[in-house]
Amino acid sequence: MEGITKTFPGVRALDGVDLDVAPGEVHCLLGQNGAGKSTLIKVLAGAHQPDDGRITWNGEPVRLRSPSAAVRLGIATIYQELDLVEGLSVAENVHLGHEPTTAGFVRTRAAHDTTTALLKRLGHPEIDPARRVGELSAAQRQIVSMARALSHDVRLIVMDEPSAALDPDEVANLFRIVADLTADGVAVVYISHRLEEIRRIGDRVTVLKDGRAVARGLPAAATPTREVVALMTGRDVPYVFPDRPAAPPAAEPVLRVQGLARKGEFEALDLELRPGEIVGLAGLVGSGRSEILETVYGARRPTAGRVLVDGRPLRPGSVPAAVRAGLGLAPEERKAQGLLLLESVTRNVSVSSLARFSRAGWIDRTAERDTARTATRALSLRPDHPDARVRTLSGGNQQKAVLARWLLRGCRVLLLDEPTRGVDVGARAELYAVIRRLADDGLAVLLVSSEVPEVLGLADRVLVLREGRVVHEAPARDLDEHRVLDLVMEGSPTA
C-alpha cells in the first residue's frame, strides 16, 4: 500500500500512509485511538475506498471496490467488533456468503465438515458447528471469526485487536494459530495495544499517528519500548490547553461516588468532584470508562454503591432523577446517543429544559429560541442560526450543541465522554477552552477520553483505569503520557 489517503468530512483520517507486508510475516500496526489504524485496515478490506494512493498485490496494482473483491484476492479481515450473525449457527456464519451448494440448496453436511476441520485446526474442536453463535462466549466467537477468515483461500489476514477479548491461555492459542499461518506463507497484519504481544509474535512494526505512518518496518523484537511509545505519542499538531486555575477549588464536593460498581464492567469506585474542578478518567477501550460515566448518570443500574449530589443520594438507574439533580451527559456516540438529527439546533438544545419555557405544557417558542440562542452563543456555536439542522453542523459544533443543552438546563456536574471524538484537530482547542471556562464558572466536570494527552492537558486530577479498576490517582501535572501509558498497559494478561 502506498500513499493511502482517506478523508472523512472534517477529518483527514489517513494522510499518505505506506504499508508493505511480505508473505509469511507478522506485520504489527501500532497507534493510539484515532491514529487511523481502523481506517487503514478497512481500506485494505475493501470496506472504504481511499481518496488517493495505490494498492499493489503480488506486484499487480489492484482496486478493492468491495469487501468481496478483497476476499476474492485472498485478503480476510477479522474486525474488533465481531461481524457475526448471532441467530445463525457456527457453520452458517463460517460459510456466510459462500455456502457450498447443490442447485441452490446448501449442503449442510459439507458445511459442517469443513467447519469442524477449521475449528480443529484452530485448536477449538469443542465448538459445535450447529450451535447458534449467540450462545457462544466472546473468545469462542473470536475463533469463529477466524474460522470464517480461513474458510477462504487467504494469503493475508488482518486481525484488529484479536486478543482484546481473550484470556491468557486463549491468547497463547491465538499466537500458535498465527505461527501456523505464517509457516504456511500467509501474511498477518496484527493490531494490538499490547506492546509485549507485538514483541512476542511480530516481525516488523509500523506506527501510525494522526493518520500518518511515523515509522515503517521497525524490527518488532529489537525496538525499545521507549522508542515505540515516543513514536506513538509525539505530536506534530500541538494541542493548546487552557491554563488551570492557580489554586485548586476548595468548595465542598458537589458529586460523591461511593463504592459504585457494575458486575463485569468496573469495580468499587470512589470519587469526589468539586465545583470548578475537571477530573479525567484515563484508560484503554474496555477499561470501563464509559460504563462508569453512564452508571453515574443513571443510564445503567449499578450493582453496588451510590451516587450523591450535594450529599443527597440519587435514585439509582434513573436518568430523569440525575438530570433533576443537576447532572448532564455528553455521550460517547454523539449522533447515536446525543442528538436528534432530524431537528434544529434550538430543539436539540432545549430538549432537556422544556419545562423552563412552558406553562402547563404549552411551549413559549420565542423564549425557547432566545434562551437556546444565548446558550449557543455563549459557546460560540457556528453557524449562529437557531433553525439550522443539527445534522449539518461540524463535529465540534454538534458537541457544543450538546454542551449548550446542559448549560441551558443549569446543570452543575457535566459528564463528558470522548468530547473531541470526530472533532477536527483545529476545533479541539476551542472546545477545550469552552470546557475549562465552564469549570471556571463553577461546573464540576468528569472527563473520559481515550486520548491520554487530552486527559492530561485538560483535567486537574486524573484517575487511571485498567480493566475496571482505578490503578492510580494523581494531579494531572504530576503525570506524563509515558507514565499513564505504562500504567494502562502494564499487567495485561500476557505480561
Partner 1 sequence: MTLTTPAEAPARDGRRRALGLRADVRNLSLLGVLAALVAVGGLTRPAEFLAGSNLQLVLTQASVIGVVTVGMTFVITSGGIDLSVGAIVALASVWATTLATQEFGFAGILFTAVAVGLGCGLVNGVLVAYGGMVPFIATLAMLASARGLALQITDGRTQIVTVPSVLDLGVPDAYVLGIPPLVLVFAAVTAAGWLLLNRTTFGRRTIAVGGNPEAARLAGIDVRRQRLLLYLLSGLCCGIAAFLLIVLAGSGQNTNGNLYELDAIAAAIIGGTLLSGGRGTIVGSVLGVLVFTTITNIFALNNLQSDVQQIAKGAIIVAAVLVQRRTVRDSEA
Q: Choose the stretch contacting partner 1; rule: CB under 8 A; options: 192-200, 277-285, 366-374, 471-479.
A: 366-374
246 Cβ partners below 8 Å, 6+ apart? none
Compute how many other C-beta atoms are within 10 angstroms of the C-beta atom of residue 304: 14
Contact 402, 339 (CB under 8 A): yes
Helices 365-378 and 395-409: crossing angle in degrees, nearest 10, is 120
**How many angstroms separate the first and last alpha carbons of the chain?**
32
Alpha-carbon span 390 to 258, nearest angstrom: 37
Alpha-carbon span 195 to 489, nearest angstrom: 8
Among residues 365, 380, 477, 490, the one that binds partner 1 under rule CB under 8 A: 365
From residue 337 to residue 356, the character string flagging contacts with partner 1 as x (rule: CB under 8 A) and all else as - is xxxxxxx---x--xxx-xx-
- Assess 251 for contact with partner 1 (CB under 8 A): no
| Grid cell in block for residue 115 | 467447519
Q: Choose the stretch contacting partner 1; rule: CB under 8 A; options: 70-78, 196-204, 278-286, 380-388.
A: 380-388
Alpha-carbon span 162 to 43, nearest angstrom: 19
Q: What are phi and psi of 462, to 5 degrees?
A: -125, 135
Alpha-carbon span 333 to 385, nearest angstrom: 24
How many Cα atoms within 13 Å fall on the side-chain side of residue 20?
8
Nearer to partner 1, 143 or 416 (CB): 416
SS3 281: strand
| Grid cell in block for residue 81 | 467488533
Among residues 49, 66, 101, 374, the one that binds partner 1 under rule CB under 8 A: 374
From residue 392 to residue 421, the character string flagging contacts with partner 1 as x (rule: CB under 8 A) and all else as - is -------------x-xxxx-----------
118 Cβ partners below 8 Å, 6+ apart? 94, 147, 150, 151
Nearer to partner 1, 161 or 294 (CB): 294
Among residues 129, 288, 331, 468, the one that binds partner 1 under rule CB under 8 A: 331
- Assess 378 for contact with partner 1 (CB under 8 A): yes
Q: How far is the CB of 476 from partner 1 (least distance, A)?
A: 23
Compute how many other C-beta atoms are within 10 angstroms of the C-beta atom of residue 135: 11
- Assess 301 for contact with partner 1 (CB under 8 A): no
Among residues 14, 292, 329, 413, the one that binds partner 1 under rule CB under 8 A: 329
Nearer to partner 1, 84 or 434 (CB): 434
Q: How far is the CB of 448 from partner 1 (least distance, A)?
A: 15
Q: Choose the stretch contacting partner 1; rule: CB under 8 A; options: 17-25, 80-88, 165-173, 364-372.
A: 364-372
Interface positions, 62-81, toward partner 1 (CB under 8 A): none
Whose cell is 504489527? That residue is: 28
Whose cell is 497507534? That residue is: 31
From residue 429 to residue 468, the character string flagging contacts with partner 1 as x (rule: CB under 8 A) and all else as - is --------xx--x---------------------------
From residue 211 to residue 250, the character string flagging contacts with partner 1 as x (rule: CB under 8 A) and all else as - is ----------------------------------------
Among residues 59, 61, 311, 361, the one that binds partner 1 under rule CB under 8 A: 361
Among residues 319, 429, 471, 474, the one that binds partner 1 under rule CB under 8 A: 319
Which stretches does DSSP call E strand in 126-203? Answer: 156-160, 187-191
Nearest in space to 413 (alpha carbons), one of 269, 245, 275: 275
Task: Please write down the HEC assignment for all residues of 115-142.
Answer: HHHHHHHCCCCCCCCCCEHHHCCHHHHH
Give the binding site for partner 1 (CB under 8 A).
297, 299, 319-320, 322-324, 329, 331, 336-343, 347, 350-352, 354-355, 358, 361-363, 365-367, 369-371, 373-375, 378, 385-387, 389, 405, 407-410, 437-438, 441
